[in-house]
Amino acid sequence: MTLWFLLAIMTGAAVFAVLWPLGRRAALPSGGYDVRVYRDQLDEIGRDRAAGRIGEAEAEAARIEVSRRLLAAAEHETSEPVVTGPGRKRVVALAALVLLPLLSGGLYLTLGSPSLPGQPLMARAKAPEASSVEQLVAQVEAHLANNPQDGRGWEVVAPVYMTLGRYEDAVRALRNSVTYNGPTATRETDLGEAMVAESRGVVTLEAKQTFQRALTLDPREPRARYFLGLSAQQEGRMAEAVATWRDLIASAPADAPWVPFVREELARAEGAPQQAAPGPNADQMAAAAEMDPQQRQQMIAGMVEGLAEKLRKDGSDFEGWLRLVRAYTVLGERDKAKSAAADARRAVAGDTDKIQQLDALLKGLGLES
C-alpha cells in the first residue's frame, strides 16, 4: 500500500511539472548569458591553477565539467523557442491529467520491478564526463562543417579545445572567430595565447605580432602585455621584459588575481643578464625575406647548428648557450634544447648565478625536467 501511495505522489508531481510551464509565459533563452558565465569560469580555473590554489587533477576535472556545460549552453542558445497557442496548451494539459497517469501506471505494471536494487551512487559518479564533452565537441564540429562562417560557434568551441589540449584546433578556431566575428583585443589575445600553447610556451614571431595587434585595440590588455614581456625575456632582452612587467603590475587593479604570478616572473627576470642576444645582420635578414618558408627554415637551422658547433669547441660563451637553447625550442627540437641545457650546465658548473639564470630560462620555455 505504501508503494502505491508513493507512486501516486510521484505521478502527481510529474503532472504538476508538466502543467506548471503551460500556465506561465515563455522565458527568454538564457544561453548567451550562460555561455559568458562558463567562459569566465574556465578563465577562473586557469587563474586558480596558476596561483596554486587548486591542484592539476581538480583543475582538469573542473575544466571538463565547465566545458561540457559551455557546449550545452551554446547548443541551447541556437535552438528556437516553440510558440504554442491557448488551444494547444489545453490539449497538452488534458493529456497530462488523463493520459500520463494511465500510461505510466500501465508501463510500470508491465515492465516495472519494485524489488530491483538501485544503481549505487558511486557507480553513477564514475560515469566518464570527458566522453560527453567529446560528444558535444563532435556535434559542434559537425555544425561548423556545415556552417563554417558561424563565428559564434568558433568562439564557443575554442576554449574547449584549449582545455582538451587540442591547441592546433584552438588556433584554427580562434582565427575563424577573429575573421567572422571581427577583431577585438580579447580575441587577438586569445589567439596569441593559443599559438604560445601550440609552440610549447615559446612566443613565436606570429604570436608576438598577434599580441601587438591586441594592444593597438586596447593598450591596457593585461595578457597581451604579459606575453610581450615573456617574448622579450625569451629573446634575451631582460631589461625590456622587466620594464614591461613592472608597468603591468603598477597599472593592475588591486584585486587582480594574476599579479602574484607576474611578480614571480619579474623577480626571475630581474636576476637574469640584461644583455641582448645578437641576431642576424641586415644582409641575412634581407636574404631570408626572399626565401620560401622551407629555405628560410633550412637557413635558420644551419645558423643554429653553426652556433652549436662553435660551443662544442669553446663552451665558455654562456650567452651563446642560452641562445642555443632558445633557438632549438623555437625550431621545435625540444630534445636538442634539453641536451644543450645539460651541456651548458656542465660548462658553468660551480657558477651559482649562471645556473640560476639557466634554470629561469628553462622554466620560461617549459623545459623543466
Q: What is the dihedral of CA 337, 343, 345, 351, to 10 degrees?
A: -130
274 with 239: CB under 8 angstroms? yes
pLDDT score of 274: 46
Tell me the average pLDDT across 326-349. Answer: 84
Q: Which tens digit of pLDDT belongs to each residue from 15-46? A: 666 556 655 554 444 445 566 776 777 777 77
By percentage, how much of the chain surpasses pLDDT 90?
18
Tell me the average pLDDT across 216-222. Answer: 94
Query: Are both 31-77+133-182 and 187-276 of the same fold?
Result: yes
Strands (E), the chain: none
> Based on the number of CB atoms within 10 Å of its own CB, is 28 exposed (0-12), middle (13-18) or buried (19 or more)?
exposed
Domain boundaries, the chain: 31-77+133-182, 187-276, 282-364
Q: Say how far apart CA 241 and CA 127 lie, in whole Å.
A: 46
Q: Taking Cα atoms as reference points, which of 175, 222, 226, 182 lies closest to residue 198? A: 175
CB burial of 149-166 (b: ≥16 within 10 Å; e: otherwise) equals ebbbbbbbbbbbbbbbeb
pLDDT score of 323: 81
The percent helix, strand, coil of the chain (3-state, each to 5) is: 75, 0, 25
Domain 187-276, what fold? 1.25.40
Whether residue 51 is predicted with pLDDT greater than 80 in this model: the reply is no
Does the 282-364 domain belong in CATH 1.25.40?
Answer: yes
Q: Say how far apart CA 69 and CA 56 lie, in whole Å.
A: 20
Q: Which tens digit of pLDDT belongs to each residue from 122-161? A: 544 444 554 577 888 888 889 999 999 999 999 989 988 9
Helices (H) and strands (E) in the chain, counts: 19, 0
193 with 227: CB under 8 angstroms? yes
Q: Which tens digit of pLDDT belongs to each residue from 248-273? A: 999 988 788 888 888 888 887 777 55
Whether residue 90 is predicted with pLDDT greater than 70 in this model: the reply is no
325 with 362: CB under 8 angstroms? yes
Domain 31-77+133-182 - what CATH class? Answer: mainly alpha
Whether residue 278 is predicted with pLDDT greater than 50 in this model: the reply is no
CA 117 to mean position of chain CA atoms: 42
Report which DSSP code applies to 202: -
pLDDT score of 277: 43
Q: Taking Cα atoms as reference points, which of 168, 204, 210 lies closest to residue 330? A: 204
Q: Residue 109 corresponds to which cell in the numbers above?
A: 505494471
Tell me the average pLDDT across 201-230. Answer: 92
Tell me the average pLDDT across 106-125. Answer: 55
pTM: 0.51
Whether residue 79 is predicted with pLDDT greater than 60 in this model: the reply is no
